[in-house]
């Protein structure tokens, strides 16, 4: 019997993979929590400090504008988390921001074309954002499945693409 076969060897081979999946899911959860924190802060400001202001009136009169300001308020803390906690490059932050906004942009086009209504955009926007972010993370899985020590060279993502980035 070979030393590298059997249940124990299979468990050892599974360990690093399971750890990578765990780190991937932890990164995704952290980004979702940062986004939710940004959205909560936006709504808290809108209903307290900004209540009765021209901005609040604008978001009331133009709810699509309010929706997109909420998307921005979700994106900024996600970028902060990526930059400062995960040491991601600006390019990686930009890619994730685009991935996050693309579903809402597509849904907005459907809304403007009269194919869906605002409640449908609001209901579908967040789940599709998370799926798009997870897809970006899978595409760039090396940056999301290794420990934090491997994040510092997240700039290597750019080198793999053949472009060096200045931060």
pLDDT at 162 over 50: no
- Alpha-carbon gap, residue 37 to 77, rounded angstroms: 8
The answer to whether the beta carbons of residues 89 and 134 sit under 8 Å apart is: no
Q: How confident is the model at residue 47 (pLDDT cuts 50, 70, 90)?
A: confident
φ/ψ of 11, rounded to 5, equals: -65, -40
Domain ranges of the chain: 19-149
**pLDDT, tens digit, for every residue of 102-159?**
999 999 999 999 999 999 999 999 999 999 999 999 998 777 666 544 444 444 444 3
pLDDT at 1 over 70: no
The model carries a pTM of 0.74
User: Closest Cα partner for 70 from 126, 32, 128?
Assistant: 126
Task: Judge residue 74's burial from the number of C-beta atoms within 10 Å of its C-beta, 0-12 exposed, 13-18 middle, 19 or more buried.
Answer: buried
- Alpha-carbon gap, residue 17 to 167, rounded angstroms: 31
- pLDDT confidence of residue 116: 98
User: Closest Cα partner for 75 from 41, 52, 109?
Assistant: 41
pLDDT at 20 over 90: no
**pLDDT, tens digit, for every residue of 3-12?**
556 555 554 4
- pLDDT confidence of residue 21: 86
User: Closest Cα partner for 131 from 153, 103, 167, 166?
Assistant: 103
**Higher pLDDT residue, 13 or 110?**
110
**Higher pLDDT residue, 163 or 102?**
102
Q: What percent of the chain has pLDDT above 70?
A: 76
The answer to whether the beta carbons of residues 104 and 129 sit under 8 Å apart is: yes
């Amino acid at each position: 019997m070979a030393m590298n076969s059997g249940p124990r060897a299979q468990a050892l081979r599974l360990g690093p993979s399971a750890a990578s999946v765990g780190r991937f899911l932890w990164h995704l959860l952290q980004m979702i929590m940062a986004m939710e924190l940004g959205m909560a802060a936006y709504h808290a400001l809108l209903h307290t400090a900004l209540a009765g202001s021209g901005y609040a009136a604008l978001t009331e009169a133009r709810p699509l504008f309010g929706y997109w300001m909420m998307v921005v308020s979700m994106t900024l803390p996600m970028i902060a988390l990526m930059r400062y906690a995960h040491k991601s490059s600006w390019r990686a932050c930009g890619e994730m921001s685009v991935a996050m906004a693309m579903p809402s942009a597509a849904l907005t086009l459907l809304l403007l074309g009269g194919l869906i209504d605002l409640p449908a955009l609001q209901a579908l926007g967040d789940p599709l954002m998370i799926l798009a972010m997870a897809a970006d993370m899978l595409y760039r899985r090396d940056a999301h499945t290794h420990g934090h020590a491997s994040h510092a060279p997240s700039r290597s993502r750019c080198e793999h693409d053949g472009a060096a980035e200045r931060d």
